[in-house]
Structure 1
Amino acid sequence: MVSISVNLANIAGTEAALGWAGAHTLVADRPAGKAGGKGLGFNGGELLALAIGGCFANDLRYVAHAKGVALGKIELGVTLDLEGEPLIVTGARMAVTCETTDGSDPRPVIEEAKADSTVSNSIIRGFPVTIEAG
């Protein structure tokens, strides 16, 4: 089994959190004026949408490299639908624009990336989340 771990800690003087994995960092916060948030970073829903889109963008590159296809412009838009109390994600939609540098049809790359996408496939299948007080 492979594992990925990240860490988060509060940022002194704010109510935001700094998240890191290795040398990479990001800030998580609520929108300005919401529960002490100052809008210093992404909220959880935005991070989830970025995880879906970011993973897929990487998967496009993995598939293209394996197929020997050079990709040019890639654009992704991810929309999450949320409902209920507590608010939960009830669906996600991703629009993909992808071009090959030789003008060939990018759809086979997109379709294979769909089949291989770790984040999207994990969400679709569902997985347990445990939360333990430390």
Structure 2
Amino acid sequence: MASVNVDLRSVDGTEAAMGWAAGHTITVDRPDGKAGGLGLGFNGAQLLALAIGGCFCNDLRYTAHTMGVALGKIAVSVRVDMEGEPLLTTNATMVVQCETMDGSDPQAVIAKAKAACMVANSLRQGIPVAIES
């Protein structure tokens, strides 16, 4: 079984958090004026959308390499819809555009990446989330 660990800690002088994994960091915060937020970083919904789209971008590249297809430009947009109290994500929609370097149809690459995308497939199936203190 593979695992990934990330850590988050509060940022002194703010109510934001800094998250890191290996040598990469990201700032997490609420919008300016909301519950002490200063708008210093991404909120949870934005992070969820970035996880969905970012994982898919990586899987497009992994899949293309495996298939021997050279990709050019990739454009991925993700919308997450939320409602309720507490607020829950009710739907996520991803629009994918990519080009192959030889001008061939990229649909086979997109379809295989869709089948392999860890984040999208995990969310589709539902995953348990344990919160311990």
Q: Give the TM-score band, short-chain normalised.
A: over 0.9
Match of 1:14 in 2: 14
Alignment deviations for residues 53-109 of structure 1 (CA, whole Å, 9 cap, x no partner):
000000000000001100001000000010100000001000001000100000000
User: Matches of 1:29 and 1:131 in 2, distance apart?
Assistant: 20
Matched, 1:48 2:48: yes
User: Matches of 2:20 and 2:44 in 1, distance apart?
Assistant: 15
Instruction: For structure 1, list consecutive stretches of 5 or more residues without a partner in the other structure.
Output: none
User: Matches of 1:40 and 1:127 in 2, distance apart?
Assistant: 29
Matched, 1:127 2:112: no
User: Matches of 1:28 and 1:10 in 2, distance apart?
Assistant: 9
User: Matches of 1:3 and 1:94 in 2, distance apart?
Assistant: 26
Percent identity, aligned pairs only, is: 63
Give SS of 1:50's match.
helix
Match of 1:37 in 2: 37
Instruction: For structure 2, list consecutive stretches of 5 or more residues without a partner in the other structure.
Output: none
Q: TM-score, normalised by structure 1?
A: 0.99
Matched, 1:63 2:63: yes
* Aligned residue type for 1:16: A
Task: Extract structure 1 runs of 4+ deviating beyond 2 A.
Answer: none
Match of 1:78 in 2: 78
